[in-house]
Chains A and B, each alone.
Chain A
Amino acid sequence: MQRMTYSFPEEVLEHVFSFIQSDNDRNSISLVCKSWYEIERWCRRRIFIGNCYAVCPTMVIKRFPEVRTIELKGKPHFADFNLVPEGWGGYVHPWIIAMASSYPWLEEIRLKRMVITDDSLELIAKSFKNFQVLVLSACEGFSTDGLAAIAANCRNLRELDLRESEVDDLNGHWLSHFPDTYTSLVSLNISCLGSEVSFSALERLVGRCPNLRTLCLNRAIPLDRLANLVCRVPQLVELGTGAYSSDMRPDVFSNLAGAVTGCKQLRSLSGFWDVNPAYLPAVYPNCTRLTSLNLGYATIQSPDLTKLVSQCQNLQRLWVLDYIEDSGLEALAASCKDLQELRVFPSDPYGVEPNVSLTEQGLVSVSEGCPKLQSVLYFCRQMSNAALITIARNRPNMTRFRLCIIEPRTPDYLTLQPLDTGFGAIVEHCKDLQRLSLSGLLTDRVFEYIGTYAKKLEMLSVAFAGDSDLGLHHILSGCENLRKLEIRDCPFGDKALLANAAKLETMRSLWMSSCLVSYGACKLLGQKMPRLNVEVIDERGAPDSRPENCPVEKLYIYRTIAGPRLDMPGFVWTMYEDSALRLS
Chain B
Amino acid sequence: MGKSGGATHFHSSSSSSSSMDRYSSSSNDPASTICRRSSSDLSTDLKLGLNSISPNSQDLHHHHHHHSFSYNSSTSISREEHLQRPLNWPPIKSILRSTIVDEMQNKLHPQSERNRPSSFFVKVYMEGIVIGRKLNLLAYHSYDGLITVLCQMFKTTILCPNKIDEGVLHYGKYHLLTYEDQEGDWMMVGDVPWELFVTSVKRLKITRAERCQL
**Chain A interfacial positions (CB closer than 8 Å to B):** 78, 80-83, 85-86, 138, 140, 164-171, 192-195, 199-200, 219-220, 222, 243, 245-246, 273-274, 296-297, 299, 345-353, 355, 379, 404, 406, 408, 463-464, 488-489, 491, 514-516, 539-541, 546, 550-551, 553
Contact = CB atoms under 8 A, between A and B. Distances in A.
B213 interface: no
Contact of B17 (A297, A379, A514): A514
B71 A353 contact: yes
Nearest to B134: A170
Contact of A192 (B2, B4, B86, B120): B4
B20 A491 contact: yes
Candidate in B4, B81, B93, B104 with the most chain A CB atoms within 10 angstroms: B4
Contact of A164 (B27, B38, B85, B93): B93
A379 B71 contact: no
Interface size grouping (class) on chain B: 35 or more
Interface stretch (B95-103, B124-132, B155-163, B186-194): B95-103
A352 B71 CA distance: 10
B12 to A, nearest CB: 10
A274 B115 contact: yes
Given A170-B1, A351-B67, A540-B29, A489 B115 contact: no
Given A80-B93, A540-B32, A353 B5 contact: no
A541 B29 CA distance: 12
B75 A353 contact: yes
Contacts of B38: 86
A546 B29 CA distance: 13
B85 A491 contact: no
A540 B32 CA distance: 5
B77 A352 contact: yes
Contacts of A199: 182
B35 A540 contact: yes
B100 A514 contact: no
B109 interface: no
B36 interface: yes
B1 A166 contact: no
A491 B26 CA distance: 15
A408 B100 contact: no
Interface string B22-44: 01111101011001101000000
Interface in B78-106: 81-82, 85-86, 88-97, 99-100, 103-104
B178 interface: no
B105 to A, nearest CB: 12
A516 B20 CA distance: 9
A81 B93 contact: yes
Contacts of A491: 20, 23
Nearest to A223: B115
Contact of A546 (B26, B91, B115, B121): B26
Interface string B109-138: 000001101001100000000000000000
B14 interface: no
Interface in B143-159: none
Interface string B50-83: 1100000000000000011001100101000110
Given A220-B117, A351-B68, A194 B5 contact: yes
A29 B71 CA distance: 60
14 contacts: A78-B91, A164-B5, A164-B95, A169-B3, A170-B1, A193-B5, A219-B117, A243-B115, A348-B104, A351-B67, A488-B18, A489-B19, A516-B23, A551-B23
B117 A296 contact: no
A81 B115 contact: no
Nearest to A351: B68
B26 to A, nearest CB: 6
B18 A81 contact: no
B91 A404 contact: yes
Contacts of B18: 488-489, 514
Nearest to B94: A82
Contacts of A273: 99, 115
Given A348-B71, A350-B51, A166 B88 contact: no
B9 interface: yes
Contacts of A348: 71, 100, 104
A46 to B, nearest CB: 28
Nearest to B107: A299
Contacts of A78: 91
A297 B1 contact: no
B11 interface: yes
B4 A355 contact: no
Nearest to B115: A243
Contact of A347 (B4, B100, B120): B100
A199 B183 CA distance: 11
Contact of B9 (A82, A171, A245, A350): A82
A574 B50 CA distance: 36
Nearest to B97: A349
B179 interface: no
B79 to A, nearest CB: 12
Contacts of A349: 90, 92, 97, 100
Contacts of B85: 350
